[in-house]
């Protein structure tokens, strides 16, 4: 049986009515954007020039309907059936669709790390996309913390949808509600949180653990490196003008990673 090709389009704002005819899936993304999915190639190409004139952000073809496929084999989709390698994600306007550069950077780094026995922390979880990928990768326990009441509802729904309620614990709260330690912390947050709360974030990290930071433009890299200079910088990534950093809990006195 031949596989379908799914055409993904991201719009700035509500889709025009003429597009709804050939649509098989619509999802409200973060920042007022909408994801549209088509399988009718003729319909897609018929309207492609019109779509481009309307300043659409992205269009791509995917043979299996995936939004993203990580090197480990984990697949992210917006519709379908979840399995041990597939995450089905619904956003409902909450941050964490898988399309934003900072989310992709975090996923790229997380996918390269091996699961540890101590818990991981997804700080500012949004839809739960990062926590879900960690659980699919084999992390036995992930605490997904989100302060927003609307987002925490979407987070819980995504956990249940993917059958990962035994691996992921959703918590509505912020840094003040956490004790740690965590073997991995991923914080895809605003710079106004990453810098003032640096001391608190670092205290939650287990010796030998990893800290992943994103949510900032490349111009903010020097400031973040200064604030987190007591940790060892292991990795620096960039995509679309945004950055991500991975640190390890490193002793400057002994020169060892605990």
Write out pLDDT tens, residues 25-61: 888 888 888 888 877 667 666 766 666 665 444 445 5
CA distance 178 to 201: 10
Distance CA 98, CA 254 (A): 39
The domains of the chain, with CATH numbers, are: 1-63 (3.30.70.980), 101-248 (3.40.50.150)
Give the chain's end-to-end CA distance (angstroms, integer): 52
Closest CA to 107 of 98, 115, 116: 98
Q: Looking at residues 132-151, what average pLDDT do you find? A: 96
Residues above pLDDT 70, as percent of the chain:
83
Query: Which of 149-154's residues contact partners 24+ apart within 8 Å by CB, and which partners?
Result: 150/94, 151/94, 151/95, 151/125, 151/126, 151/127, 154/90, 154/91, 154/92, 154/94, 154/126, 154/127, 154/128
- Does the pTM surpass 0.85? The reply is yes
Q: 170 - beta bridge partners?
A: 144
- Both tokens of residue 253? 């006195």
What integer pLDDT is reported at residue 147 of this predicted model?
95
Q: What is the pLDDT of residues 212-224, one digit of tens each?
A: 999 999 999 999 9
């Amino acid at each position: 049986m031949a596989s379908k090709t799914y055409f993904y389009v991201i719009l700035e704002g509500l889709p025009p009515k003429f597009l709804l005819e050939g649509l098989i899936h619509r999802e409200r993304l973060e920042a007022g954007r909408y994801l549209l999915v088509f399988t009718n190639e003729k319909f897609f190409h018929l309207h492609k020039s019109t779509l481009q004139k309307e300043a659409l952000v992205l269009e791509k073809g995917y043979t299996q309907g995936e939004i993203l496929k990580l090197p480990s084999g984990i697949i992210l989709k917006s519709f379908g059936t979840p399995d041990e390698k597939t995450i089905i994600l619904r956003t409902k306007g909450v941050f964490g669709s898988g399309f934003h550069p900072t989310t992709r950077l975090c996923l790229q780094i997380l996918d390269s790390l091996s699961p540890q026995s101590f818990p991981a922390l997804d700080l500012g979880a949004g839809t739960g996309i990062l926590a879900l990928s960690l659980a699919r990768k084999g992390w036995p326990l992930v605490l997904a913390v989100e302060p927003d009441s609307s987002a925490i509802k979407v987070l819980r729904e995504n956990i249940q949808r993917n059958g990962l309620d035994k691996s992921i614990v959703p918590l509505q709260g912020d840094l003040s509600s956490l004790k740690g330690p965590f073997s991995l912390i991923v914080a895809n947050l605003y710079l106004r949180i990453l810098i003032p709360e640096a001391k608190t974030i670092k205290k939650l990290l287990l010796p030998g653990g990893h800290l992943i930071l994103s949510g900032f433009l490349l111009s903010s890299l020097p400031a973040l490196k200064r604030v987190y200079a007591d940790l060892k910088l292991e990795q620096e990534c960039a995509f679309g003008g945004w950055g991500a950093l991975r640190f390890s809990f490193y002793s400057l006195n002994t020169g060892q990673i605990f």
